[in-house]
Homo-oligomer: A and B are copies of this chain.
Amino acid sequence: MLQISRKGDYAIRGMVYLASQPVDKVSLLSDIAAKMEVPQTFLAKIFQQFNKSGLVKSYRGAGGGFKLGRPAENISLLEIVETVEGPIVPNRCIMAAGICSRDISCTVHPVWKEVQKSMREILSSVTLKHLAGR
């Protein structure tokens, strides 16, 4: 449908929340989920991914929670989206050469490449710093 999934949107919401907290503050998942209106168990899964990729750092046990893995200005929207949704590819044939047998001669192929480039440029130019409501 050429549209981001809820997972992607929820992921961004969660990260924006963390970015809007005091630096190094550890936030409870339940707080993040409530404030950003995201199903908590779903967000848990998303943050597990982020923890593995290093985008967030998690702490278990009492007093545990999540905080950003890096300064907000070093985390782009593109990285968040691609971590949960996979690479931004507006059409199958952009993923890799040969996936569509027609790609070599196809006149439409370059257009999708341009769309991809443009999207990546926009998303990579926006960081959590920009998004954190002040």
User: Chain copies in the assembly?
Assistant: 2
Q: Is A34 an interface residue (CB 8 A)?
A: no
Which residues in B have their C-beta under 8 angstroms from that of A132? 107
Stretch at the interface among A3-11, A22-30, A39-47, A58-66: A3-11
For the complex, give the distance between the alpha carbons of A107 and B111 in Å. Answer: 29
Cross-chain contact B107 with A4 (CB below 8 angstroms): no
Which of A3, A90, A102: most chain B CB closer than 10 A?
A3
- Which residues in chain A, 108-134, are within 8 Å of chain B measured between CB atoms? 108, 111-112, 114-115, 118-119, 122-123, 126, 130-133
Say whether A3 contacts B123, CB under 8 Å: no
Interface centre among A8, A9, A132 (most CB of B within 10 A): A9
Q: What range describes how many residues of A lie at the interface?
A: 35 or more
Distance of A81 Cα from B123 Cα, bound (Å) = 22
Chain B neighbourhood of A88, CB < 8 A? 2
A86 within 8 A of B: yes
**Distance, CA A77 to CA B108, complexed state (A):** 9
